[in-house]
Amino acid sequence: MKRRQFITLLGGAAAWPLTARAQQAAKLPTIGFLSTSTPSGWSQWTAAFAGRLRELGRIEGRTVAIEYRWAEGRSERFAEIAAEFVRLKVDVIVTAGLGANAAKQATSVIPIVFALANNPVSSGFVASLARPGGNLTGLSVQGTDIVGKRIGLLREAVPKVGRLAIMANMGFSEAVLEMEEVQETAETLGLEVAIMEIRRAEDIAPSWEGFKSRADALYVCGDPLVIANRIQINSLALGAQLPTMYNYREFVEAGGLMSYGANAPDLFRRAADLADKILRGAKPSDLPVEQPTKFDLVINLITARTLGLDVPPSLLARADEVIE
């Protein structure tokens, strides 16, 4: 063999592992993770999702690639991120709420998994829970179904509630549906209701001026905007001496009084299961929309003391977590 041929073969042999590795990396199945909020707002949810993938043998950077994007509560970003995922040709999109709607508008081909959705049928995400049809499936949080339970728990903690303020992002359809359910339930119970409408972060602080003396407690309808601004909302509520009720524990960790709702980290773990099934070849249309199996009541006693509230021991005994 001539020296030049030998060198060429040797060089090719040395380069082959690098080329093979590059090709292998390029072939990693890719998940587009569209967060409608912020990294801090979804930190526990993201960790639960990635943790479950690891348990399933999908190690980020080795056996799966995850492209994380954060809309930070800005609805105009949902469509931008969804379009980016289509350009990247991801294998599946994982998101929540109206992030699923934006993804659905962007593609009818790429499978979509929603980890949280209040009303996936009425929102038009799926045809039915049992038979989703199309390219979407995921988990329903039954948000409007447990509104009455939330108000009942709030009244146990704050028995003198006669006037209830409801904060809702009027640009977020699921929050509007929840607000309507809260209003109807509260009025049925004989409570006066005041609606605190917001559409952007800049609306939050001004909205308080007209409600400080018109409410005994505040019910906050969950959506990406309020999750991203939960610290500000709680600061204003504490300043106005308003006890708060939320959907998720993340609000209570940030200083809210209490929350009751589906365990979101568990839902994101189950979303990882659905994403894994799809990456293995399952079709979203064949995977029924699942419902919550874990509901958490979380109470912040530090906030209760700040508000001068004496939370009944019977309520504390039923709490899944008490922050002290």
Task: Supply the range of the domain harboring residue 98.
Answer: 8-141+264-295
Percentage of the chain exceeding pLDDT 90? 71
Closest CA to 99 of 134, 127, 68: 68
pLDDT category of residue 6 using cuts at 50, 70 and 90: very low
Same domain, yes or no, for 291 and 173?
no
Is 315 a member of any domain?
yes
Is 209 a member of any domain?
yes
Between CA 164 and CA 177, with CA 217 as vertex, the angle to 5 degrees is 50
Does the pLDDT of residue 291 top 60, yes or no?
yes
Is 2 a member of any domain?
no
Same domain, yes or no, for 121 and 246?
no
Same domain, yes or no, for 220 and 279?
no
Is 61 a member of any domain?
yes
Same domain, yes or no, for 198 and 61?
no
Least confident of 138-152, 176-190, 206-220, 308-322: 206-220
pLDDT category of residue 22 using cuts at 50, 70 and 90: very low
pLDDT at 210: 67
pLDDT at 30: 98
Percentage of the chain exceeding pLDDT 70? 90
Q: Which residues of 180-195 are buried (b: 16+ CB within 10 A; e: fewer)?
A: bbbbebbeeeebebee
Same domain, yes or no, for 149 and 229?
yes
Does the pLDDT of residue 5 top 70, yes or no?
no
Same domain, yes or no, for 131 and 258?
no
pLDDT at 3: 44
Same domain, yes or no, for 85 and 119?
yes
What letter represents residue 79's amino acid?
A
Same domain, yes or no, for 315 and 230?
yes
Residue 17, Cβ density class (10 Å: 0-12 exposed, 13-18 middle, ≥19 buried): exposed
Same domain, yes or no, for 303 and 175?
yes
Does the pLDDT of residue 17 top 80, yes or no?
no
Cβ count near 71 (within 10 Å): 25
Closest CA to 282 of 116, 137, 139: 137
pTM of the model: 0.82
pLDDT at 19: 40
Is 3 a member of any domain?
no
Cβ count near 306 (within 10 Å): 13
Does the pLDDT of residue 204 top 70, yes or no?
yes
Does the pLDDT of residue 290 top 70, yes or no?
yes
Closest CA to 172 of 119, 127, 234: 119
Is 50 a member of any domain?
yes
Give the position of tokens 């829970």: 129
Domain count across the chain:
2
pLDDT at 214: 77
Same domain, yes or no, for 167 and 200?
yes
Does the pLDDT of residue 10 top 80, yes or no?
no
C-alpha 238/C-alpha 256 separation (Å) is 8
Number of residues that make up the chain: 324
Least confident of 139-143, 233-237, 273-277: 139-143
**More confidently predicted of 161 and 144:** 161
Is 107 a member of any domain?
yes
Does the pLDDT of residue 14 top 70, yes or no?
no
How confident is the model over 52-72, as pLDDT tens digits?
999 999 999 999 999 999 999
Same domain, yes or no, for 133 and 69?
yes
pLDDT category of residue 193 using cuts at 50, 70 and 90: very high
pLDDT at 16: 39
Same domain, yes or no, for 287 and 303?
no
Q: Which of 31-35, 38-42, 71-75 has the highest mean pLDDT?
A: 31-35
Tell me, what CATH number does 101's domain have? 3.40.50.2300
Is 39 a member of any domain?
yes
CB 169 within 8 A of CB 199: yes
pLDDT category of residue 212 using cuts at 50, 70 and 90: low
Residue 185 CB contacts under 8 Å (≥ 6 apart), including other chains? 147, 148, 151
Residue 296 CB contacts under 8 Å (≥ 6 apart), including other chains? 249, 259, 260, 261, 262, 263, 320, 321
